[in-house]
Amino acid sequence: MNASSLPRWIDIGLLPVLNLIAALTVAGVIIAIIGENPFVAMGVMIKGAFVYDGALGYTLFYTTNFIFTGLAVAVAFHAMLFNIGGEGQAMIGGLGVGLVVLFLDSVLPPLLVVILAVPAAAAFGAVWGVIPGWLQARRGSHIVITTIMFNFIASSIMVWLLAGMLMAPGQMSPETRSFADGINLPLVYEVLQMAGFSVSRSPLNLSFVIALLACFGVWYLIWRTKLGYIIRATGHSERATIYAGHDPAKIIMLVMAISGALAGMMSLNEILGVQQRVILNFTSGYGFTGIAVALMGRNHPIGIVLASLLFGALYQGGAELDFEFQTITREMVLMIQGLIILFSGALAYLFMPAVVRIYSSLRKPTGSG
């Protein structure tokens, strides 16, 4: 009896939930050890994420980031490529947005600039993804190591530019000047208010819709196109792909371009959505969280939306923890994230033998009787 003989609902439903419970339990124990009540903390987080005024908007805002970075990791995973470089790809994507806007916002109408900035985010991210892809496909470098290195290189480039030639005149902090007025993605609360709904202020913007469209796009690509079929084939067996008449090197580069583009589009939400200038470290680890999201979501867009929502709530609720408790900060969320990666990723099948045993002992009497 192994994974493939278990019903789907156990494999993609029960096991991930058990892993999540295990991660949260360990987190709860740590919270208890540092002297707080984990249940109270959880209550605060849930309220902070969903109940308070405007909370949902913030939660969905963070969710948007995670959908992009989660999809980026997942697309690469389908070709069995472990793209740890989402963080760097997002930074460079943001750089792309910044460059387009800073060069054009004085000459072109705002709407046009925004329309150009969106593909720029994707294109810059794609470039930062395709280089490690090329190095793996054509030069045999291990993609995990190269993407790690590319995160550091991207980060240095950002520091160098933002503290150098892109730094706003008269500024002391490493960031660009603000974009011209009107260069931002429409905010959801403004649109809804215009439509007559009363919604409280939040940074949730059009990126959320783009993210959902990207989810559908990824699903369609992977399971409903021949290219997706070839991508999955490459992931399972490069030799079979060559045999079938396709060039795995090209597929690897293409997949890394798509992956990098998705990660790069995360910057739309942060840079074009709320900041309206390029700041340092706007990615704040969302690229890494994308790995947790993809693992929890089992690389399926629906799973990724659900996992992103969970992490969105953790981030927004985590901010609330900062206010409510002396001893708990946002870093608690980082810790929970680490635990989730551990249990949903590295220990994904920790509970499988037990579940298989229980399942087959429950099955037997009905099966034979």
Partner 1 sequence: MADLWLQFVLTIDATLRVATPLILCAMAGLFSERSGIIDISLEGKMLMSAFAAASMAALTGSPLLGLAGGILVSVALSLIHGFACVTHKGNQVISGLAINILASGLTVTLGIALFAQGGQTPFLNKSERFTDIVLPFAEQAEHVPVLGTIYKEIISGHNLLVWVALFSVIVTGYVVFRTTFGLRLRAVGEKPEAVDSAGGSVSGLRFQAVIIAGVLCGIAGTYLSTAHGAGFIREMAAGKGYIALAALIFGKWRPVPALLACLMFGFMEALAARLQGVEIPVIGNISTDLILVLPYFLTVILLAGFIGKASPPRSIGVPYIKER
Partner 2 sequence: MADKTISKARGDDSSPLAISLDNINKTFGSVRANKDVCLSVVQGTIHGIVGENGAGKSTLVSILYGFYSADSGTVAISGEPVRLRSAADAIAAGIGMVHQHFMLVPNFTVLENIILGHEVGSDLKAGARQAEASLKGITERYGLSVDLQAVVQDLPVGLQQRVEILKALYRGARILILDEPTGVLTPQETEQLFDILGTLKAQGVTILLITHKLKEIMAVTDFVSVMRSGEMVDHLQTAQTNPQQLAQMMVGRPVLLDVGYQAAQAGQAMLNAEHLTVTETSGVTSLSDVSFSVHQGEILGIAGVSGNGQSELLEVLAGIRKITSGTVQIGDRKITAEQPASPSEVKGLGLAHVPEDRHAMGLILPFTAAESAVLGYEYADMMGGRSPILSPAVMAAHCKTLMSSYDVRPAEPSLKSNLFSGGNQQKIVLARELSSQPDILLVGQPTRGVDIGAIEFIHKQLFAMRDKGCAVILVSVELDEIMSLSDRVMVMNEGKSMGIVRKADTDIQEIGLMMAGVTAASPRQQKAR
Contacting positions for partner 2 (CB under 8 A): 1-2, 4-5, 223-230, 232-233, 236-237, 239-240, 242-246
> Which residue, 356, 357, 362, 358, is CA-closest to 4?
356
Residue 146 within binding range of partner 1, rule CB under 8 A: yes
Applying CB under 8 A, which of residues 21, 346, 354, 362 lies at the interface with partner 1?
Answer: 346
134 contacts 254 by C-beta, under 8 angstroms: no
The distance of closest approach from Cβ of residue 170 to partner 1 in the complex, given in angstroms and rounded to an integer, is: 20
Q: Which is nearer to partner 1, 20 or 335 (CB)?
A: 335
The distance of closest approach from Cβ of residue 323 to partner 2 in the complex, given in angstroms and rounded to an integer, is: 47
Report how many residues bind partner 1 under the rule CB under 8 A: 48
1's contact among partner 2, partner 1, none, with CB below 5 to 8 A by partner kind, is partner 2
82's contact among partner 1, partner 2, none, with CB below 5 to 8 A by partner kind, is partner 1
And the tokens for 329?
A: 């900060």
Q: Which is nearer to partner 1, 77 or 189 (CB)?
A: 77
And the tokens for 133?
A: 């892809």
With the CA atoms of 345, 75, 258 and 244 taken in that order, what torsion angle do they form, in degrees rounded to the nearest 10? Answer: 130
87 contacts 59 by C-beta, under 8 angstroms: no
Residue 92 within binding range of partner 1, rule CB under 8 A: no
And the tokens for 243?
A: 């045999």
> Which residue, 303, 310, 313, 337, is CA-closest to 13?
303
> Which residue, 44, 62, 26, is CA-closest to 327?
44
Residue 74 within binding range of partner 1, rule CB under 8 A: no
The distance of closest approach from Cβ of residue 145 to partner 1 in the complex, given in angstroms and rounded to an integer, is: 6
Q: Which residues on adjacent β-strands are paired with residue 76?
A: none
Find the part of the chain contacting partner 1 (CB under 8 A) among 14-22, 92-100, 158-166, 274-282.
158-166
